[in-house]
Structure 1
Amino acid sequence: MADLSQKEWAEQLRADENAVILDVRTPAEFQQGFIPDASNIDIYRGQQFMAELEKLDKSKSYYVYCRSGVRSRQACALMNGLGIEKAYNLEGGIIAWQGEVVR
């Protein structure tokens, strides 16, 4: 897992052809606004969340965020534990995000 600054996360995401953006907030939070092309898997769903992670393609790179960066850091650690090596946490989460947001 790597904690990336806003700038590092955005630059690496743009350059990565294998990138998947993952929002681990609740569906209600997701509906309030999300980073374009993000998929939503709610970390609070426990075992269901783990089951969704297990379905992910381990060859892809996952750019993970939440509201403030805490849940996404936990999600990245869980992903690493499942063999997903390229999981990148967005420091500061969407509340610090300077880029585009879909509302």
Structure 2
Amino acid sequence: MADLTQEDWASQLEQDDNAVILDVRTAEEVSEGYIPGAINLDIHQGQEFVDALKELDADKNYYVYCRSGGRSSQACSIMNQLGIDKAYNLMGGFSNWKGESTQ
């Protein structure tokens, strides 16, 4: 797992042809806005969340975010334990996001 600043996360994502964006917030939080193209997997779903992670392609690069960076950091750690090595946490989360978003 790598913690990336907002700038590094956005820059790396933009240049990555093998990128997948994961939003690990609740559906309610997502309804308030999200990064376009993000897949929502709510980390609060427990085993359902872990099962969904197991279905992901481990060869992809995952850019993970939540509201402030805490849950996405946890998610990246879980992903690493499941064999997904390239998981990048957005430090500061969506609340500090200055890039494109949908509401």
- For the criterion TM > 0.5, the same-fold answer is yes
Deviation per residue, 1:1-26 (Å, 9 max, x gap): 00000000000001110000000000
Aligned partners of 2:31, 2:64: CA distance in 1, in Å?
A: 17
Q: Which amino acid aligns with 1:13?
A: L
Aligned partners of 1:84, 1:22: CA distance in 2, in Å?
A: 13
Aligned partners of 1:28, 1:95: CA distance in 2, in Å?
A: 14
**TM-score normalised by structure 2 residue count:** 0.99
In percent, how many aligned pairs have the same letter? Answer: 60
RMSD, aligned CA:
0.4
- The residue that corresponds to 2:88 in the other structure is 88
**TM-score normalised by structure 1 residue count:** 0.99
Equivalent positions of 1:41-56 (< 5 A) are 41-56=41-56
Gaps of 5+ in 1: none
- The residue that corresponds to 1:70 in the other structure is 70
Question: Would you identify which runs of 4 or more consecutive aligned residues in structure 1 move more than 3 Å?
Answer: none
Deviation at 1:31, TM superposition (A): 1.0
Equivalent positions of 1:8-47 (< 5 A) are 8-47=8-47
- Equivalent residues, number: 103
